[in-house]
Amino acid sequence: MSDQYQPVSETADQGRMAVNRKLERVRREHSRLMGRKIAFIGLIVVIIILAVGFIITLGPLGMTIPQVYQTLLARFFPQFITMDPVFEQVVWNIRFPRIIGGIFAGFGFGICGCVMQAVLKNPLASPFTLGISAGAHFGVAIAAVFGIAIVGGAYLLIVNAFLFAMLCSFFIVSLASLKGATSETLILAGIAVNYLFSSLSQLMAYFANDEQLRLMSLWGMGDLSAFSWSKFGLFVGIFAICTPILLVKARDLNLMTIGDDTAKSLGVDANQVRMLTMMVSSMLVATIVCFTGTIGFIGLVAPHMARILIGTDHRILIPASGIIGACLLICADAVAMNIIGPTIIPTGIMTALLGVPFFLYLVLKGKRKEFWQ
């Protein structure tokens, strides 16, 4: 009897061996693609580092790239490297904080846009379309026109913008917690909130004098000039808290893209993940917006660019979206500062002018799967 069943056993063993070989090939191919994608992200980081030196040289001072890096290194190694006091003032206190702030802001907008699009399952989701930026603008309008704020002094506008941005975020998150609230409902609610606070901001502008109206308009256009070393403590602290949480939830976001029911069957509470990631993303966006003003394009386009170039695995997609967002923002800001010198165009305007055509090109060209093959 044992001889009779031996061929069946051998066939089963051969089948298992074939399956194991296929799985091993899939693992090797996956590892190879992941390695290439990580290398691609590393290349973008290197490009950003090199771009920083080039961007600082732009302007009437006439610095060279070696002088820029020499000035930066002299700050940390003064006993070995000497630097020109004028170069130190321009590089370290004026241009470098603006670029670092742009990198942080672009990275934050990129990862938050990516997370919002994932949890809401909508490619149009972004901090701008959900009304967070409009809420921050209304907070600035109230502080500028009526002087209503929690704190005074240099942080009057910043704190008001943060509080009203968080107010919009809490509304969206609370709506997400309601049973039966779909992703389409949240997007529509965000658009409604966006229009509501935009209308209220216009109402404030109607009662504002020339100086107040100028302040509101400049803040609404978006700019990176508010960044300085004295304000980076809070900024970096919020990033250090929020960014790891979003990266840790990348695997859960991968499962949620298949469907909430499937994610639940695999041990992921989709509603809990949606609430947590939306809350963390909103806090990060509110922190950025209260410093930069309304820069509404990066959070929408950076995740799409990353998705076309990298793929849909959020373990790689989230950091890639942030890095691409940082690259987009500092490049757009560099163009805005130098294209019509000495006039500086607001950064928010330039991001849209430069980003929209490039984004449309990528969308019309479609996914190039052979890029990773």
Two structure tokens written together for 210: 């020339």
Strand (E) or helix (H) holding 78: none
| Torsion angles phi and psi, residue 340, rounded to 5 | -130, 50
Give the chain's domains with CATH numbers: 2-372 (1.10.3470.10)
CA-based torsion, 362, 364, 366, 371: positive or negative: negative
pLDDT at 182: 67
What ranges in the chain are assigned the alpha helix state H?
A: 2-57, 65-76, 85-90, 96-120, 132-146, 156-177, 183-207, 210-221, 232-248, 250-258, 260-265, 270-292, 298-310, 314-338, 347-365
Predicted local distance difference test score (pLDDT) of residue 372: 41
From the number of C-beta atoms within 10 Å of its C-beta (0-12, 13-18, 19+), residue 329 rates as buried
> Which pLDDT score, from 0 to 100, does residue 296 have?
74
The enclosing H or E element of 153 equals none
How is 161-204 classified by DSSP, letter by letter? HHHHHHHHHHHHHHHHHSTT--HHHHHHHHHHHHHHHHHHHHHH
Asked if residue 259 lies in contact with residue 121, where contact means CB atoms within 8 angstroms, the answer is: no
Cα separation of 115 and 249, whole Å?
A: 9
User: What are 290's two structure tokens?
Assistant: 């209260």
Is residue 136 within 8 A of residue 162, CB to CB? The reply is yes
The pLDDT score that the predictor gives to residue 152 is 61
Please give the span between the terminal C-alpha atoms of the chain, in angstroms, as a whole number.
50
What is the pLDDT at residue 30?
61
Phi and psi at 129, nearest 5°, equal -70, -20
pLDDT value at residue 322: 92
Residues of the chain with pLDDT under 50: 1-2, 5-6, 367-373
pLDDT at residue 127, as a whole number? 80
The pLDDT assigned to 136 comes to: 85
| Predicted pLDDT of residue 373 | 41
- Residues 2 and 55: their CA atoms lie apart, in Å, by 78
* pLDDT score for 368: 47
